Homo-oligomer: A and B are copies of this chain.
């Protein structure tokens, strides 16, 4: 940071060897001194620190990783970093990892299994110490591969029923139940459920909570009101337009996510502001927890920070402990925020 010379080409990188030559110690001693290992005298350590700083030494962690077998790098594989929920998760993951001297690279799967598979192989070829994965769930071969190869990983937000893995999720059944219970107690019986794709575990569980609320309130459930929407931008708008065109009746909407909820509200306003103005729409995830959107959205909340941190903590403990026989499976509580 001090040597602002005129040299425009890439400078020769300083290595341990260079510091060794300058100080008269061996490269190994330099390494051990800079890594605060034992068997180095205080004077030597301080001297080596001083010289390496003067020389502008930047350790080559690639080389270190090759030898040590550790990269202190985690792959975070998610559907889409530009989804606000994912972005919030990833932010907290990155922060938590950084404070533990780990770093992460992000890969977006775009909810495509092939990209997920590529991402995992890519991660392994980069010798990551572990993987945080929000799986597409369109297949589970790659997850089996991770299990069989003993790669430390943790699932985020989704889980498999036919595979034992570590995971961190929100209590989707309960969250969904709370939302529907609230609506039913407000007198709604025809609650349109714009759920996510059925192969995603969180969608399965939110459906379970939806049904449970009808059963517990002794209200008959109309299966026609249960819809599945994709997660591409604008998908829900088209879906709700079609639903309304087809003449389906409903008095409230429960959406798979806040994003879907926004689209529904957006679409309903566009179709007929007055006609739908008394139709409550409830979302999921409370992505407003860190933003202040002027539109008050009732939504199912849970601590995204806790989920992200827990995922990191589980992964790092697995990496550092090496062996774990009992699976670490966390389900974080959900509550309803009425706005």
Contacts and interface: CB of A to CB of B under 8 A. Distances in A.
A303 to B, nearest CB: 14
Nearest to A81: B91
Contact of A81 (B71, B94, B148, B293): B94
Contacts of A265: 294
A86 B294 CA distance: 21
Interface stretch (A100-108, A190-198, A219-227, A245-253): A100-108
Contact of A295 (B87, B88, B233, B294): B294
B122 A103 contact: yes
Contacts of A292: 233-234, 237, 262-263, 266-267
Given A103-B122, A266-B292, A71 B62 contact: yes
Contacts of A3: 148
Given A11-B149, A62-B62, A141 B1 contact: yes
Interface stretch (A42-50, A53-61, A169-177, A180-188): A53-61
A53 to B, nearest CB: 12
A210 to B, nearest CB: 23
A82 B91 contact: yes
A80 interface: yes
B126 A108 contact: no
A217 interface: no
Contacts of A26: none
A150 interface: yes
Interface in A125-149: 125-127, 141-142, 144-145, 148-149
Interface residues of A, number: 71
Nearest to A80: B91
- With most chain B CB atoms within 10 A of its CB, the pick from A73, A81, A151 is A81
A28 to B, nearest CB: 18
Contacts of A59: 125
A98 interface: yes
Contact of A58 (B4, B124, B141): B124
Contacts of A105: 73, 103-106
Interface in A295-309: 295
A41 interface: no
B126 A62 contact: yes
23 contacts: A1-B141, A4-B148, A6-B148, A7-B148, A10-B150, A60-B125, A60-B127, A61-B125, A61-B126, A61-B127, A62-B71, A63-B66, A73-B105, A82-B90, A87-B87, A94-B107, A95-B108, A103-B107, A104-B105, A105-B105, A233-B291, A233-B292, A293-B295
